[in-house]
Structures are given as structure tokens and as C-alpha cells.
Structure 1
Amino acid sequence: MTSRKKRVAVVIVLLTVQCGIMIYTLTRHNRHVSVKETNDNIRVHYSIDPPKNYSERCMNSTAVCTETPKDISQSEGIWTGLKDDLSAYSSITNRSKHLDIHCDVCAVVSSSGQLLGSKAGTEIDNATCVIRMNIAPTKGFEVDVGTRTSVRIAGFLGMTRGIFKSTKFFENERFPGKVVIWTNKNGNLVKEESLELIKHHAGLDMYMTSDEHVEFCEALFQKETGRNREKSKSWLSTGWFTMIFALKVCDKVKVYGMIDFDHCSRNKTRSKDVPYHYYDKTEVKECDVSNAGETRSTGGHRYLTEKYVFRKWAKSADMEFFYPSWNITSELHKLPIFLNSAASK
């Protein structure tokens, strides 16, 4: 079997497993939900499954609702209103205790193979806070990804499937930082697994998102794309939850190793061999996974669509992208595959 065929086969297997994992979540309730995240400055209302009179309802206190998705960052004060409201992140050991953190400059470090050879480690470590995702390690990759971790955002599968335990992650990472698990309705199992890890790793500080926050993040996806996550059989990535978290707690966000939504189509030759994860020794390639996720009809991460939204947010939020850099001032003349296929229907 040729190397290319092997890569394709691996991607198909990966996405098939992912689809099976998603079945529970994709069969979640299909109802009208009013999602609120509030503080003294702003109140945001979103509907996950818009009713027929959706266009007549106000989605937030400063913008008029329409059925055409708008850039949420254009709503006056939206990110200012959500900043520092961390009531959605509760301690695993004490649910009345909420995450307490604010950062001037955040380095959001992706898990992408784009970081290999970047030598961005020192620059990343110089940020006020360093945010990492899932089980992306620092050990062995310090020159490219740095050594510090302030907060690690992880998906619930890392807990329910015992990935942190099986990889001996916390034995290898000396300074894991605060760990935030975004979860669905499987919260009890996440809590049980988290408590087990805390018991074996003194000082491990773990938090879990509320159901309302997950619903808010899903509604935000629909607001920005016009596609209902559940009905479109889409699965939000840890990157989506991480970027929302960063915009809450950071004055300035510097993102390392995340590709733009059209990167793979613009750099077909240069990007074809970049691994999906910088620490993964398999033959899975980043662009193979990203492109495949956009076209799956039975469910998948819409990685490139999410990055299309991030590009829009970057126009008004204080965000920069490195390794590779993004041209956030350029106009968005094209849509990612997922949104383009939806528009043509």
C-alpha cells in the first residue's frame, strides 16, 4: 500500500471512530433553549434551535436578531461583556468554587505539527499565561512549544476514555497547570475520573464546564455559521472551547500553530506532509483531517469552518496568529467547504 493510501486509510479509521463516539451527543435533546451568560455589562440570549419567530427575537442586548448569521464580534461590547465571567468553570472538588484567572497576554498553543521547527518556545513562555489543549505535551518539544502551562483545556473524552491515565500524562508533565474539562451530559463520569486523577496527583487543580456553557458555545457556533450543530451533525472541537475561554480571560490573545481556514487549499504542496499533532508519530496529516472533517455528512469536527469564524473574531478582538501567520485584514471572499456546501443547498 502506498504512503498516500495509508494516510487516507488512517484518516478514515480516525473519523469513523470519532463518529461512533459522537452518537450519544448527537442524540441530545432537540429543544428550544435560551442560553445566558451574564455580568453587569451585557446579557446574551441565543436559541439553539430557533423557533419560527426567531427573526423577531433579540439575540442580545445590543443587536437586532436576523436569520442571517452575523459576526458576533460586531455586537457592541460582546467580548468585553463576557470577559472575566468564569462562573461556567467550576472546581471538580468544590462546585461552588469557580476558576479565577485573568491574563494580560495569552499564548494559545495548538497541537498542530505546524509548530515543529518553529523555535517558538521562548516566545510562548514569555506570555503572561500559556493555554494548551488536550494531551499536547511540552516534554521533548520545549524548543518549539515552550515549557509553561497556565491552563489546559481538554475534551471530556480525555477523561471518559481514560486517555490521561493511559498515557501517564500527569506523570510526564511536571507542571500541567489548571485543567478545564469541557463536557456534555456525561458530567458524572468526567467528575469520577477527575477525582481519581486528583487522588493520585497531589495539587492537580481541575475544573469542569457547566451544561449551560456548552449550550452557549453551541449556540455561538450557530450564530456565526447559520448551521445548527446537532442538525448538521457537527462536533465542536476543543479549539472552539479554548478560543472562547481565551477571549474571556485574556486582554490579548496570541495563537501559535493554528492554520487559517484556507491554508490547506493555498499551500497544497507545502502543507501535505505536516502532521496532525506535533507529538504524534502516526502518518495522519493535518490537512487530510481538516478537509475530511468539512465534508463528512455523518458528523465530524468542522475545523476549517471554526477557523473561518476565528478570522472574523480577530478583526475586532485583539488576536494574532503565528506559525503560520494569518492575514486577518484580507476580505473573506470564499467560504470553507462545510459552509459552502450548505449555501449551495
Structure 2
Amino acid sequence: MGLRLSGKGQQSHRMVIFAAIFILMTLLILYGSNNANEAVYTPFHVATNHAIKTTDLKKWSGRDGYVPFYGNKTLNLHCHNCALVTSSSHVLGTRAGDEIDRTECVIRMNDAPTLGYESDVGNRTTLRVVAHSSVFRVVRRPNEFLHRTDSNPVIIFWGPPNKIGKEAKGTLYRLIQRVSMTYSNVSCFSVTPSKMRRFDSLFHRETGRDRQKSHSWLSTGWFTMVIAIEICDNIKVYGMVQPNHCGKPGSKKMPYHYYKPRGSDECVTYIQNESGRRGNHHRFITEKQVFARWAKQYNITFTHPKW
């Protein structure tokens, strides 16, 4: 004898089926949405379908891409051997300061200090590459970064043209210009808008990722490495970890900056930036994978840690 559902039973049955279909459709939409996000940015090593277009950075370089904030100085720096000192806390305890200071040219980034850290990072600075977001931190400490009687450092500032560009003449531009006029021993340059576009296109060629479409910001490390390749015959990098460092078992927590012991954890910062989909993020791991490719081509070695 067949079982017949009452009117209310049939209605309830239809509602259950409708709810099941609704949940299934929602899951499919969410899955498709996640896949679309993945298409915007995936880690560099996953992009196996992209034919890498390498660039000869020695030919790519051009000194016309850097203009002085004051006077008619030109960037004509060339070094046989360079020490590129990162801001990573991996440099702490290395006792590499003397070795760094003996190197012909020493390159540093943003507002990474030497005072109090000399035994590990040295004291000399030949070139400092500074992001627009770090300008005020550098200017607030003139004795550390600007008023150096023992050297004549070069500082290259990079950032959006509307913030540090000569044509815009915004607040940051005028501030750096005053610094250049006050501290004549320091040579201050900005990256021109055309050169900034070339840095973007270089990232695209080397990774297959469009920086703007993937909501990425190039890091100061990217600018510094490329500039170092332009001016140095040999580069020894201090404190930079391998691209797969944060995926290794047993990797211990380390502050992102050696001078901010209570700051964010290095690997947490790398992973969050690499996987971030909303807002703008640095792609530190992707950049390091490019640096690893460049190492043999441009005589780059890595120490503390060595790889």
C-alpha cells in the first residue's frame, strides 16, 4: 500500500528540497568566487604555465631614471663589491659588522639603524633606499641618517610620483628637497615616474603577475635588489631567508625587523602578504623566488642564513 503525503507533508518535503538546492548553489557560488580570487594572485611557484621572460638588468639599468632633489648631481655610483644589509632580525648575533664595514659599498633600507647594532650590521652606509612611507622616520633622526661626517651617503627615495615626484612638488618632495639643501654631504635622488613604471613591468615579466591587478605593492627590498644589481659587480646579502623558509618545519619565530623586537613575526608577515587578496600587499615570497633565480646571473650570495 503506497504511502501518501498529506498537503502539509508535501509542502514540508518541498521546502527541504528547496533548502538543499539553495545550500548547494550557495556553496558552488562561493567555490567559484574563491577560484576567481585565486586567479588574481597565486604564489609565483604555482604559475607553471607562465613562460618567464628574463631581463638583462645590466642593460635594463639607466642612470637617467634617478633625478636629484637639489642641485645637478648625477647618480654615478659603481662598486665592485657590495654588502646589502637587510632589516631582518636574522642579522642579530651574527657579529658580521666588521666584515660589512670592510666591504667597498654598504647598502641599507628605509630607517634601519646602525647605532647600537654595529657589531652585527656595521656602521658604514654608502647607499640607502627609502620608501615614501619611511621618509618622516628618516628625517626625524638626522644624526643617524643624514649628518654623517664620516661618509657621503647616497639616498634613493621611491614612491608614487604624486608624493615624491618633482612635477607634483608635494609635501614629501619639498621636505626631501630641504634635507638635500641642509645636508650637502648627502646626495638625495628620486626614482622617476618612467623608471617606476619599468620596475612594475620588470615584476610582471619576471613573475607573470600584474602588480596592480593582483593588488600588490613592490617592496623596498625589490627596489634595493634591482638597484644593487645596477651598481654592483658582486653582492653579498645579509639576513635574507630562502623563499621556502617559512614552510620548513621547526622554523622559529623571529621579529620582522631587527630593531623592533616586539614587532610582527617575520613568517606571519610574509605569509599574510603573500596570500592577501584584498587591499595592497607585498609579495615577499614571490620576490625572493625571483632573487634566487637572479643569484647566479648577477653574482649574488646570501649569508646569515647562507643559501
> TM-score, with normalisation over the residues of structure 1?
0.68
The SS at the match of 1:271 is: coil
1:148 Cα deviation from its structure 2 partner: 0.7
Cα pair 1:71 1:313 within 8 Å, conserved: no
Question: Paired residue for 1:155?
Answer: 131
Q: Which runs of 5+ in 1 are unaligned?
A: 1-66, 327-345
Cα pair 1:170 1:176 within 8 Å, conserved: no
Task: Determine if the alignment matches structure 1 residue 90 to structure 2 residue 67.
Answer: yes
**Which one has a larger percent helix, Structure 1 or Structure 2?**
2
The SS at the match of 2:282 is: coil
1:132 Cα deviation from its structure 2 partner: 0.4
The SS at the match of 2:155 is: strand
Give per-residue Cα distances to partners, 1:189-223, cap 9 Å, x unaligned. Answer: 33211023234434232111111111111111111
2:120 equivalent among 144, 156, 162: 144
Relative to structure 1, the CA distance from residue 317 to residue 171 in structure 2 (aligned partners, 3 Å threshold; closer, same or farther) is same
- Provide the C-alpha distance between the structure 2 equivalents of 1:295 and 1:90, rounded to a whole number of angstroms: 35
Map residues 4-83 of structure 1 onto 2, 5 A cutoff.
68-72=50-54, 78-82=56-60
2:232 equivalent among 233, 246, 250: 250
Map residues 117-266 of structure 1 onto 2, 5 A cutoff.
117-159=93-135, 162-165=136-139, 168-173=140-145, 174=148, 175=151, 177-185=153-161, 186=163, 187=165, 188-189=169-170, 190-266=172-248
Cα pair 1:133 1:238 within 8 Å, conserved: yes
Relative to structure 1, the CA distance from residue 183 to residue 235 in structure 2 (aligned partners, 3 Å threshold; closer, same or farther) is same
- Provide the C-alpha distance between the structure 2 equivalents of 1:150 and 1:283, rounded to a whole number of angstroms: 27
Task: Determine if the alignment matches structure 1 residue 307 to structure 2 residue 288.
Answer: yes
1:124 Cα deviation from its structure 2 partner: 1.1
Give per-residue Cα distances to partners, 1:100-155, cap 9 Å, x unaligned. Answer: 11000010110000000011111111211000000001110000001110000011
- Provide the C-alpha distance between the structure 1 equivalents of 2:272 and 2:220, rounded to a whole number of angstroms: 17
Q: CA RMSD in A?
A: 1.8
1:289 equivalent among 269, 273, 282: 269
Query: Match of 2:284, as an amino acid?
Result: Y
Query: Match of 1:112, as an amino acid?
Result: S
How many matched pairs? 248
- Provide the C-alpha distance between the structure 2 equivalents of 1:148 and 1:157, rounded to a whole number of angstroms: 23
Give per-residue Cα distances to partners, 1:36-70, cap 9 Å, x unaligned. Answer: xxxxxxxxxxxxxxxxxxxxxxxxxxxxxxx9341
- Provide the C-alpha distance between the structure 2 equivalents of 1:204 and 1:102, rounded to a whole number of angstroms: 17
1:91 Cα deviation from its structure 2 partner: 1.0
> TM-score, with normalisation over the residues of structure 2?
0.76
Give per-residue Cα distances to partners, 1:261-280, cap 9 Å, x unaligned. Answer: 101111x53432x1100011
1:97 Cα deviation from its structure 2 partner: 3.4
- Provide the C-alpha distance between the structure 2 equivalents of 1:260 and 1:246, rounded to a whole number of angstroms: 19
- Provide the C-alpha distance between the structure 2 equivalents of 1:253 and 1:140, rounded to a whole number of angstroms: 25
- Provide the C-alpha distance between the structure 1 equivalents of 2:157 and 2:138, rounded to a whole number of angstroms: 12
- Provide the C-alpha distance between the structure 1 equivalents of 2:137 and 2:58, rounded to a whole number of angstroms: 35
- Provide the C-alpha distance between the structure 2 equivalents of 1:100 and 1:271, rounded to a whole number of angstroms: 41
Cα pair 2:257 2:263 within 8 Å, conserved: no
- Provide the C-alpha distance between the structure 1 equivalents of 2:266 and 2:298, rounded to a whole number of angstroms: 26
1:246 Cα deviation from its structure 2 partner: 0.6
Query: Match of 2:67, as an amino acid?
Result: S
- Provide the C-alpha distance between the structure 2 equivalents of 1:237 and 1:69, rounded to a whole number of angstroms: 23
- Pick the structure with greater CA Rg: 2
Relative to structure 1, the CA distance from residue 283 to residue 80 in structure 2 (aligned partners, 3 Å threshold; closer, same or farther) is closer
- Provide the C-alpha distance between the structure 2 equivalents of 1:249 and 1:154, rounded to a whole number of angstroms: 17
Q: Which runs of 5+ in 2 are unaligned?
A: 1-48
The SS at the match of 2:216 is: coil
The SS at the match of 2:160 is: coil
